[in-house]
């Protein structure tokens, strides 16, 4: 899908191939981020030019489009672009490509890509964008993961979604980079689960207040119940009594903790949490609305 030559730059005949076994040789530490999704392999291409610094192209082949989207959702910073002129984009939809300071990041079907000019110039920017267009050309444009639609635009009139901080993920290591709960995988997250999280903000006279929403979907109710029990032991050790269940598949509780009020709700195979609420009423109102 990549042209041999773009502008002043030319790529080699074959890429560097990276898989789960050697990803830590390619990147120190950051490999956990990609393995936290359903990663298949990576193709790394370096376009070189005698006149300007190189351009790096990284194609992350993921096993599902949701996972490719998830990697882009970890950072919504940059200028939003439409690289596929054959497809009209709705501004209300989630971005598919973002550019800033020489770096293009995009999601195209099952591919997450990074195209980076080591030194941004007008020529390198044009080449980076041309490479982006070549990556998305002819590929499908599936919708964002359905779970992203579970993020309400607001809670009550005053708590507004910070859409540029909303993320989709599967791993507790990714969660901790977004909202830190603790080193332990207390929600039993793995590649068979999926989750979304985002802060919600309320403007006040003395500044701004934020609460954090987290929603996790498990393969079945039994996995969700076990995860909730694990969360209670690890995060709420002062509450030793079993959490009250209204039925075998549903539960709603709120707790006073160190950083405010926490609400949690189990329904079938889904767990929802709201963290750092300023009072019990807010926690109950939001968690019962979800």
Smallest Cα–Cα separation from 277: which of 191, 167, 174, 156? 156
| pLDDT > 90? residue 47 | yes
**Average pLDDT taken over every residue of the chain:** 93
- What would the pLDDT profile of 268-282 be if each residue is shown by its tens digit? 999 999 999 999 999
Per-residue pLDDT, 170: 98
pLDDT grade for 210, boundaries at 50, 70 and 90: very high
Q: What angle do CA 51, 120, 26 make, to 5 degrees?
A: 90
Are the CB atoms for 139 and 107 separated by under 8 Å? no
Q: Are strands 270-277 and 159-161 parallel, antiparallel or unpaired?
A: unpaired
Q: What is the residue whose two structure tokens read 């599936």? A: 142
Per-residue pLDDT, 169: 98
Smallest Cα–Cα separation from 46: which of 133, 134, 131, 137? 131
The mean pLDDT value for 226-241 works out to 89
Q: Taking the model in full, what pTM does it have?
A: 0.94
Q: Comparing 29 with 117, which gets the higher pLDDT?
A: 117
Burial of 26 (0-12, 13-18, 19+ CB in 10 A): middle
- What would the pLDDT profile of 148-183 be if each residue is shown by its tens digit? 999 999 997 799 999 999 999 999 999 999 999 999
State the CB neighbour count (10 A cutoff) for residue 266: 23
| C-alpha distances in Å from residue 198, one per residue of 201, 229, 274 | 10, 23, 10
Per-residue pLDDT, 246: 59
Smallest Cα–Cα separation from 145: which of 190, 180, 110? 110
Domains in the chain, CATH or no CATH each: 5-136 (no CATH), 146-289 (3.40.1000)
Find residue 115's DSSP bridge partners.
Answer: 57, 104
- What would the pLDDT profile of 49-59 be if each residue is shown by its tens digit? 999 999 999 99
């Amino acid at each position: 899908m990549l042209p041999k030559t773009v502008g002043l730059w030319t790529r080699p005949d074959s890429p560097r191939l990276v898989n789960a076994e050697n990803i830590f040789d390619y990147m120190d530490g950051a490999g956990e981020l990609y393995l936290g999704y359903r990663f298949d392999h990576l193709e790394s291409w370096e376009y070189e030019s005698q006149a300007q610094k190189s351009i790096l192209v990284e194609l992350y082949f993921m096993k599902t489009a949701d996972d490719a989207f998830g990697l882009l959702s970890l950072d919504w910073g940059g200028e939003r672009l439409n690289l596929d002129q054959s497809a009209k984009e709705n501004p209300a939809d989630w971005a598919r490509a973002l550019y800033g300071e020489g770096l293009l990041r995009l999601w195209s079907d099952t591919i997450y890509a990074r195209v980076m000019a080591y030194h941004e110039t007008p020529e390198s920017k044009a080449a980076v964008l041309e490479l982006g267009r070549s990556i998305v050309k002819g590929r499908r444009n599936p919708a964002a993961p359905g779970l992203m639609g579970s993020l309400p635009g607001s809670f009550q009139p005053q708590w507004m979604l910070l859409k540029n901080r909303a993320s989709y993920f599967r791993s507790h290591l990714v969660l901790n980079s977004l909202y830190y709960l603790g080193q332990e995988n207390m929600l039993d997250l793995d590649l068979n689960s999926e989750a979304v999280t985002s802060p919600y903000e309320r403007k006040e006279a003395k500044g701004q207040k934020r609460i954090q929403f987290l929603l996790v979907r498990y393969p079945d109710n039994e996995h969700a119940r076990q995860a909730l029990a694990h969360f209670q032991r690890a995060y709420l050790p002062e509450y030793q009594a079993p959490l009250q269940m209204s039925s075998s598949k549903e539960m709603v509780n709120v707790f006073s903790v160190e950083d405010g009020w926490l609400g949690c709700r189990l329904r079938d195979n889904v767990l929802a949490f709201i963290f750092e609420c300023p009072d019990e009423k807010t926690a109950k109102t939001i968690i019962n609305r979800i």
